[in-house]
Amino acid sequence: MLLTFFCLFPFLGIGQDRSTERANELKLDNNELSSLIQFCMDLPEMQKYYPLNKDGNKKQVNIMQGPLQLTEAMAQSNSERNVSLFNRGDAQPESYFIFRAIEKMGDSVKMNLNYFYNHKDGSFKLLRINMELKKGIKNWEIINITTEGDKI
């Protein structure tokens, strides 16, 4: 019961100061934010969770607008995959990300995101990801990452 409450806690919007979580108020420009989103989508650990088209290619990546509101420009992908933003009231795709929080601290960034996948009969599987990244010479580098999987 307690686990269910904490899983739903972010959806209910309880205790969240949304004014500090808006993407346009981050100390990141659109290019930095776009590269962070791309980095998360390209994590090797994530690849096995992406649904495939009939031809074996990965389907488009979906991002639900959540506590962190993104614009199309921020969600642009540098890969071949399309990125689609949708709102909570829209029809839910087979899989999607929600970026809960991104906090910049000097040259490092802490991120909290969820990946919902395997949508069947109104239920999803959930992968929670918390990570700290540091800006390297060319790319972001993982300092620390924790993942938890669960069914909801």
Domain spans, the chain? 2-151
Tokens, residue 93: 């795709």
Residues above pLDDT 70, as percent of the chain = 75
Of 81, 78, 62, nearest to 70 (Cα)? 62
- 73 vs 104, residue with greater confidence: 104
Tokens, residue 103: 């906090």
Burial 65-83 (b: 16+ CB within 10 A, else e): bbbbbbeeebbeeeeebeb
Its pTM surpasses 0.85: no
Tokens, residue 54: 């009939």
Residues above pLDDT 90, as percent of the chain = 28
pLDDT at res. 14: 39
